[in-house]
């Protein structure tokens, strides 16, 4: 993608123009970028060893700038089978979160034609279906994918319970109330603990060693601040070598939201535990929260 629209100043930028902007101006504008055609969330990535500077976006299904992948579905992901199950209470033990590569598995995994499919996936599906009304064990990976994919899931009244550890609840309630996309954060969320999620437009480290994951103006300009003592663990958990690899990923974090500037500024969610956060990029071009 060579062109991008900046909501800040109403201008379109070519990549070379954007690269030439003064640093402070570019850092500010990169948090207000949209696709010129579909208005999808867009981000800027500076030149690296692997690629020249460029723009990317989460495009709408019919956008002509959409990248085409042969098989772009998240079909390997067991989040999908959960979509078909009867809704009931979700249980997520944050203590058991294990991270995983930020990149999704390559599409079309080669399956050994000589090896018979053992049917384990369908068996587990059947078993879960007959569990009746017992709570479903889930995790942040599945939750994030369902949130990104499904507007009805985002606004559902299904109960979810997040445990810090055995019998100690971090937060519980209806999904629509305790799992908030960044753009739904209001002043009432100041000092509130919940699950917050959205896309990452820019990243940076401050001199005190904290890692900042910033969303865009369309997403309340929310930021996640990751404490210096867990930054390395966090990057290891998600196999991130270059922090710019986090750009364009979706993130979900369990934490407390505080507004900067004595409550007048932007929402910041503080994260001091590596298993309270999950980041993932999705290949599916149709994955776009709207």
CA distance 287 to 150: 9
The yes or no reply on residue 42 touching Zn ion (CB under 5 A) is: no
Positions 240 through 269 that interact with Zn ion (CB under 5 A):
none
Exactly one of 40, 198, 199, 285 binds Zn ion (CB under 5 A); that residue is: 40
The yes or no reply on residue 199 touching Zn ion (CB under 5 A) is: no
The yes or no reply on residue 35 touching Zn ion (CB under 5 A) is: yes
Exactly one of 34, 63, 195, 247 binds Zn ion (CB under 5 A); that residue is: 63
CA distance 290 to 273: 29
User: Which residues, 6 or more positions from 226, have their beta carbon under 8 angstroms from its beta carbon?
Assistant: 210, 211, 212, 213, 234, 271, 272, 277
Residue whose tokens read 């587990």: 124
Spatial strand order of the sheet with 33-34 comes to 11-14, 3-6, 33-34
CB burial readout 13-42, b (16+ within 10 A) else e: bebeebeebeeeebebbbbbbbbbbbbbbb
CB of 64 to Zn ion, least distance (A): 8
The yes or no reply on residue 59 touching Zn ion (CB under 5 A) is: yes
CB of 245 to Zn ion, least distance (A): 22
Cβ pair 234, 277 in contact under 8 A: yes
Question: In the complex with Zn ion, which residue's Cβ is closer, 54 or 164?
Answer: 54
Look up residue 33 and give its DSSP letter: E
CB of 35 to Zn ion, least distance (A): 3
CB of 249 to Zn ion, least distance (A): 18
CB of 60 to Zn ion, least distance (A): 6
Exactly one of 4, 6, 38, 171 binds Zn ion (CB under 5 A); that residue is: 38
The yes or no reply on residue 274 touching Zn ion (CB under 5 A) is: no
- Choices 6-14, 61-69, 159-167, 168-176 (CB under 5 A): range interacting with Zn ion: 61-69
Reported as half-sphere exposure (CB side, CA atoms, 13 A), residue 212 has a value of 18
- Choices 59-67, 128-136, 147-155, 253-261 (CB under 5 A): range interacting with Zn ion: 59-67
> Binding-site residue total for Zn ion (CB under 5 A)?
7
Residue whose tokens read 């800040």: 8
CB of 34 to Zn ion, least distance (A): 8
- Can you give the binding site for Zn ion, defined by CB under 5 A? 35, 37-38, 40, 59, 63, 65
């Amino acid at each position: 993608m060579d062109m991008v629209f900046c909501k800040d100043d109403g201008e379109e930028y070519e990549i070379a123009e954007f690269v030439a902007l003064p640093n402070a101006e570019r850092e500010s504008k990169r948090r207000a970028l949209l696709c010129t055609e579909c208005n999808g969330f867009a981000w800027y990535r500076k030149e690296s060893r692997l690629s020249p500077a460029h723009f990317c976006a989460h495009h709408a299904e019919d956008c002509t700038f959409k990248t085409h992948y042969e098989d772009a579905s998240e079909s390997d992901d067991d989040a999908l089978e959960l979509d078909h199950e009867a809704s009931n209470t979700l249980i997520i033990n944050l203590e058991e979160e294990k991270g995983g590569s930020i990149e999704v598995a390559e599409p079309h995994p080669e399956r050994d034609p000589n090896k018979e499919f053992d049917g384990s996936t369908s068996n587990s599906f059947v078993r879960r279906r007959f569990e009746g009304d017992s709570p479903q064990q889930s995790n942040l990976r599945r939750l994030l994918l369902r949130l990104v994919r499904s507007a009805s899931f985002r606004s559902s009244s299904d109960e979810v319970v997040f445990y810090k550890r055995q019998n100690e609840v971090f937060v519980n309630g209806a999904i629509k109330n305790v799992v908030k996309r960044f753009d739904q954060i209001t002043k009432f969320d100041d000092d509130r603990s919940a699950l917050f999620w959205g896309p990452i437009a820019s990243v940076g480290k401050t001199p005190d060693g904290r890692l900042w994951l910033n969303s865009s103006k369309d997403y309340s300009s929310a930021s996640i601040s990751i404490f210096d003592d867990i930054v390395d663990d966090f990057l290891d958990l998600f196999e991130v070598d270059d922090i710019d690899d986090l750009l364009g990923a979706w993130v979900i974090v369990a934490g407390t939201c505080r507004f900067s500037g004595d409550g007048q500024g932007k929402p910041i969610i503080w994260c001091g535990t590596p298993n309270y956060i999950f980041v993932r990029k999705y290949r599916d071009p149709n994955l776009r929260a709207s």
